[in-house]
Amino acid sequence: MNNRYPFELKPLPYDYNALEPHIDEATMKLHHDKHLKAYVDKLNETISPYPKFHNWYLETFLCNLFSLPEEIQTPVRNNAGGVYNHNLFFSLLDSSAKKPVPIGNLAGKIDKDFGSYENFKDLFKEAALKQFGSGYAWLVIDRNQNLKIISTANQNTPLELNLYPVLVIDVWEHAYYLKYNNRRNEYIDNFFDVINFEKAEELYNKFFV
Ligand code: MN3
């Protein structure tokens, strides 16, 4: 996958129907092939007239938004954010585990910082429910190397807040409306059944390398 201009649509690491019944095939198709693709295309369009940034990585844009020419700061924030957030979200989903639970170092740190996985789930769900309008809820590592739950609006990323993501749920309506209509609550409950905790553990450990 190309992590520099021209950015490419990264294929899903599983079939469109792999997350059924928790997340339906029609939603995954639309979410990946239409929504994510639109962010990739618009990001390329935005960057195209600026050769000076053609060697920047996706993350470089998001960590240095305010070093960009003013006229492209907002479109880069929205579209590079859209690409980054979706690639991360899709990579953190997996159908293979029946009752997925955290593993390894991340499991220990969740217990330490939140008391238990059950308690973490309650807090994460609350953040995902409370995010008003479009956005995401995140589990991130902060500057003090502690875990923290946050939510962000639109396609903003934790990178611009100097926070490092470990887990994320997309709570834009396009992520759940086809199947769940306005029942974000139910969508979040089902999300917990398709989390790829091996990927989350990999992200967690990468931070400390
Ligand atoms: Mn989305």
How far is the centre of ligand 1, averaged over its atoms, from the C-alpha of 172 (Å)?
A: 6
Work out the average pLDDT over 71-84.
98
Give the Å distance between the CA of 56 and the centre of ligand 1.
Answer: 24
* Average pLDDT value over all residues in the chain: 96
Q: What angle do CA 78, 137, 95 make, to 5 degrees?
A: 100
Model confidence at 95, pLDDT cuts 50, 70, 90, reads confident
pLDDT of residue 163: 97
The confidence score (pLDDT) of residue 125 equals 98
- Measured in angstroms, how far is the CA atom of residue 91 from the centroid of ligand 1? 13
The Cα angle at residue 132 between residues 16 and 113, in degrees rounded to 5 = 80
Helix, strand, coil fractions of the chain, as percent rounded to 5: 55, 10, 35
In percent, how much of the chain has pLDDT > 90? 96
- CATH of region 23-209: 3.55.40.20
| pLDDT at residue number 66 | 93
Q: Ligand 1 center to residue 5 CA distance, Å? A: 21
Task: Compute the distance between CA of residue 140 and CA of residue 149 in angstroms, rounded to an integer.
Answer: 6
Q: How many Å lie between the centroid of ligand 1 and the Cα of residue 40?
A: 13
Instruction: State yes or no: pLDDT of 76 exceeds 90.
Output: yes
Q: Give the Å distance between the CA of 86 and the centre of ligand 1.
A: 6
Domain range summary for the chain, segments of one domain joined by +: 23-209
Does the pLDDT at position 87 exceed 60? Answer: yes
Asked if residue 99 has pLDDT above 90, the reply is no
Taking Cα atoms as reference points, which of 171, 136, 138, 194 lies closest to residue 14? 194
Question: Confidence band (pLDDT; 50, 70, 90) for 15?
Answer: very high
**pLDDT band at 148, cuts 50/70/90?**
very high
The pLDDT of residue 96:
81
Question: What token pair was written down for 208?
Answer: 């400390």
pLDDT in tens, 170-206: 999 999 999 999 999 999 999 999 999 999 999 999 9
User: Is the pLDDT assigned to residue 1 strictly greater than 60?
Assistant: no
Q: Please tell me the distance between residue 107's alpha carbon and the centre of ligand 1 in angstroms.
A: 27
With a threshold of 0.85, does the pTM exceed it?
A: yes
